[in-house]
Amino acid sequence: MRIQGKEITTSSGIPVKNTYAQEDISGLDLTRDIGLPGEPPYLRGIYPNMYRGRMWTIRQFSGYATPEETNERFKYEYEMGGTGFSIAFDAVTENGLDPDDEGAEADVGRGGVNVCTLKDMETMFKDLPIDKISTAVIASPFSACPLSAMYFALAENRGIRLRELDGTTQNDILLFTACCHIPATIPPRHLIDLCVDLVEWSAQNAPKWHPVSFASYNYRENGLNAYQEVALLFANAIEYIEKELKRNRLHIEQFAPVLSFHMAAHNDILEEVAKFRAARRMWYRIMKERYGVSDPRAQVFRFHVQTSGSTHTYQQPLNNIVRIAYQVLAAALGGAQSIHANSFDEAICLPTELSVLISMRTQQICQYESGVTVTADPLGGSYYVEWLTGEIERRAWEYMARVEAAGGLVKALESGWIHREFFRAMADYQKEIQEGTRKVVGVNCYEMEEEPYQFPVFRPNRGSAAIQKAKLARIRLERDNEEVEKCIREVRGATERGENVMPSVIKAVKAYASLGEICDVWRDMYGLWEVPILKIE
């Protein structure tokens, strides 16, 4: 909550009254606007029995140093009851660069794991049952086709049919051009083609794979509020849909079911619940009213939730355990399909085994002890929650109209409009903390001169760059380099002809072409993009 003068608002600045009653939801048609779980407009959840049928997937975003070390962490999480994997790549990999690239060394294996060939992907999933447990490949749109292709090749080599392969690629254009930039990427107007290639190819060849997970998590982490988060989420999805429809290759019902979403769980519990519910109703309306889609598999809004890293404090960091638990609660009350609970030490370092264990136990306690999973949409019908759900939806439609007025998502990205919106939001948020209208325990209230306790700090392996460089050098010696060159030429040919790049990219990764070699094709064709962040002032 925020307090400004006499006005009390939600975290997103929506004014809130002391009490809500029937009159606040009198405009709602209880059947049309609310309905039942598993029925249109899916406001109350996408399945009739929700968590009685299936618990949400515990999917911890993990990765550091080398694929060998990340394999150990994945095994640990699997043993502790993790039910999904999610790969955190380092910035080198997200940029589509190889570890031996000039200037890459200091970032190899630091913020995540370094992966540059199929061999690394094989190592990372050694002895892990990827036919039974799904993986989220958290790849930037620039590296998404090659990294997904590596995962597909890994599955095929293990005898898993791609039609049966379950998982997700992040592949969100906005996340990696406006939230966590990748400085070595091509301009968005070309990047979107790669994004949509993966969607198109997966819809036809790997229908259980989600080739994009629109990540409003990251838009929120960049300072936006709850309704802006939802609005940009759908503005982005619409951009992908329009791009694919313009190609005239697939009908919307053929690819809409594979789209998926990744939202934030911020501090304001009831506002977050309202946000998740509003998003479900909005997606249903977008599918049905805007695109005339009748397939329920496309109308239901499936989403992963990540607890909000930007709400963590560096000060008194064990308090973050409490923040994370409340945020997991919001995601559970909101009907999430999969949750990543952050770790309490993430404002300081990558998570240790200890902090990851606590995150997983936080989720399990919520699943089996809290009681919130026994009935679907337990807050449905609450005057306040139903009113706030409607309010978030109304404000989100308005903000979406502003994105469309700015020319749609890609234009708004290239012009710097989106970056300015982020900048304004993050500056306002900071000001609220400074002025004290937004309270942060340990930062602007209940501060302590000395940190009250010690805790272990994670240290990534400083030798990662040397190890990864040596492995790549050996692969370059051992592989059939003529075949690799031929494959790379095919990637270029397919891109130039406007064909889907995936068949040629899959062939290239199977020949052990590296991530950097494939992405260089596109860098060479389109040049690098200058992030408009520098034009903000």
Write out the residues near another protein by the rule CB under 8 A: 90-92, 94-95, 97, 103-107, 110-111, 176, 179-184, 221-223, 310, 312-315, 346-350, 423, 426-427, 430, 434, 440, 442-444, 451, 457, 460, 462, 531, 533-534, 536-537
- In 3-state terms, what secondary structure has residue 313? coil
Nearer to another protein, 21 or 536 (CB): 536
Q: In the bound complex, what is the minimum distance in angstroms from residue 347's beta carbon to another protein?
A: 5
Q: How far apart are CA 534 and CA 162, in angstroms?
A: 42
Q: Which CA distances in Å does 146 have to 188, 298, 428?
A: 18, 26, 38
Output the 3-class SS for 223-279: CCCHHHHHHHHHHHHHHHHHHHHHHCCCCHHHHHHHEEEEEEECCCHHHHHHHHHHH
Q: In the bound complex, what is the minimum distance in angstroms from residue 184's beta carbon to another protein?
A: 7
Enclosing H/E stretch for 509: helix 502-510
Tokens of 473: 């050098």
Nearer to another protein, 293 or 321 (CB): 321
Nearer to another protein, 45 or 188 (CB): 188
Q: Which is it for strands 303-307 and 7-9: parallel, antiparallel or unpaired?
A: unpaired
Q: How far apart are CA 269 and CA 372, in angstroms?
A: 13
Q: In the bound complex, what is the minimum distance in angstroms from residue 141's beta carbon to another protein?
A: 13
Nearer to another protein, 105 or 483 (CB): 105
Tokens of 448: 């302590």
Nearer to another protein, 175 or 502 (CB): 175
Give the number of other CB atoms < 10 A from CB of residue 457: 10
Q: In the bound complex, what is the minimum distance in angstroms from residue 143's beta carbon to another protein?
A: 12
Nearer to another protein, 94 or 197 (CB): 94
Nearer to another protein, 163 or 459 (CB): 459
CA nearest 56: which of 392, 382, 306? 306
- DSSP label at residue 212: E
Q: In the bound complex, what is the minimum distance in angstroms from residue 125's beta carbon to another protein?
A: 23
CB 472 within 8 A of CB 116: yes
Nearer to another protein, 72 or 435 (CB): 435
CB 270 within 8 A of CB 384: yes
Who's near 196: CB < 8 A, 6+ residues apart?
240, 243, 244, 247
Q: In the bound complex, what is the minimum distance in angstroms from residue 95's beta carbon to another protein?
A: 5
Who's near 252: CB < 8 A, 6+ residues apart?
241, 244, 245, 291, 293, 298
Nearer to another protein, 90 or 229 (CB): 90
Nearer to another protein, 179 or 329 (CB): 179
CB 151 within 8 A of CB 109: no
In degrees, rounded to 5, the angle at the alpha carbon of residue 254 between the alpha carbons of residues 248 and 259 is 105
Q: How far apart are CA 145 and CA 501, in angstroms?
A: 8
Q: In the bound complex, what is the minimum distance in angstroms from residue 306's beta carbon to another protein?
A: 15
Q: In the bound complex, what is the minimum distance in angstroms from residue 345's beta carbon to another protein?
A: 9
Nearer to another protein, 23 or 537 (CB): 537
Give the number of other CB atoms < 10 A from CB of residue 106: 10
Q: In the bound complex, what is the minimum distance in angstroms from residue 80's beta carbon to another protein?
A: 23
Tokens of 342: 């952050």
Q: In the bound complex, what is the minimum distance in angstroms from residue 311's beta carbon to another protein?
A: 11
Using the Cα atoms of residue 25, residue 28, residue 33 and residue 35 in order, give the sign of their dihedral: positive
Q: How far is CA 143 from the centre of its chain?
A: 15
Q: In the bound complex, what is the minimum distance in angstroms from residue 191's beta carbon to another protein?
A: 14
